[in-house]
C-alpha cells in the first residue's frame, strides 16, 4: 500500500513539474520517479552519481529484441563503467515482471516500470497500448502484463542533468556499443575545450 502511495505521489509531482513538452537535447531533465525491478521507489536525481546515465526505453520484457538489448548492456557494462556510465532500462512492464526479467537474464543494471507512460511522455517517446504475453519462467507458465508499450529510444543524461544524446532509431543488439562510442567522442570533445 505504501509503495502504491509513493507511486501515485511521484506521478502527481511529475505532472506538476512537467509542462507537456518533451525534454530536448541540451535541456535539463526534470526529476522523475518510478518503481524499480525490486518494487522500490527510484528517482532520477538520487541516481545521477555517474558522469553519465543511459536511459533506454524498450517495448516489453521477455521479447526478442528487448532481451537482446538488455543482454547487450549487461555484457558491456564493464566497458561502460570505465567511462563512469550507469544504465537504466524503462518499459511499461509491471515491476514484478521486471524483477523476473532481470533475474532470468542476470542483468546488472536497474529496470524501471513506467506503466502509465508518464516518463516516456517526458522524453517524447511514442507509446501505444500495453498488452499481455505468456512466457515460461522457472518451469511455470505466466501471464506478463504491461500498461503501455514504448518505442525503442535511448538517451544519455550527464551528471549536470543535461540531456546530451537521443537516438530514436535504435539497433537493439548494438545499442550499448553505439552509446559507448558516443560517450567516448563526447569525452574527447570535453577534454579538448
CA distance 126 to 152: 9
Kindly state the helix (H) or strand (E) to which residue 179 belongs, with its residue range: helix 175-192
Cβ density class 164-186: b for 16+ within 10 Å, e for less: bbbbeebebeebbebbbebbeeb
Alpha helices in 41-110 (DSSP H): 64-75, 77-82, 95-104
Q: Which of 14, 53, 61, 66 is catalytic?
A: 66
Residue 71 annotated as catalytic: no
The residues, ordered by sequence, that sit 6+ positions from 183 with a Cβ below 8 Å of its Cβ are 52, 80, 83, 85, 156
Please identify every residue annotated as catalytic: 66
Amino acid at each position: 500500500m505504501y509503495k502504491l502511495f509513493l507511486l501515485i505521489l511521484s506521478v502527481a509531482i511529475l505532472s506538476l513539474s512537467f509542462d507537456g513538452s518533451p525534454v530536448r537535447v541540451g535541456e535539463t531533465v526534470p526529476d522523475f520517479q518510478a518503481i524499480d525491478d525490486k518494487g522500490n521507489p527510484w528517482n532520477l536525481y538520487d541516481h545521477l552519481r555517474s558522469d553519465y546515465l543511459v536511459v533506454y526505453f524498450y517495448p516489453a520484457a521477455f521479447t526478442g529484441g528487448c532481451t537482446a538489448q538488455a543482454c547487450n548492456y549487461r555484457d558491456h557494462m564493464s566497458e561502460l563503467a570505465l567511462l563512469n556510465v550507469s544504465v537504466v532500462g524503462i518499459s511499461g512492464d509491471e515491476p514484478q515482471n521486471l524483477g523476473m526479467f532481470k533475474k532470468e537474464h542476470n542483468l546488472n543494471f536497474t529496470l524501471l516500470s513506467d506503466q502509465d507512460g508518464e516518463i516516456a511522455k517526458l522524453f517524447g517517446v511514442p507509446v501505444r497500448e500495453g498488452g499481455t504475453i505468456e512466457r515460461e519462467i522457472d518451469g511455470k507458465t505466466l501471464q506478463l502484463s504491461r500498461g503501455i508499450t514504448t518505442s525503442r529510444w535511448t538517451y544519455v543524461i550527464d551528471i549536470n542533468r543535461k540531456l546530451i544524446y537521443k537516438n530514436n532509431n535504435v539497433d537493439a543488439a548494438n545499442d550499448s556499443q553505439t552509446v559507448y562510442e558516443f560517450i567516448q567522442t563526447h569525452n574527447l570533445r570535453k577534454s579538448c575545450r
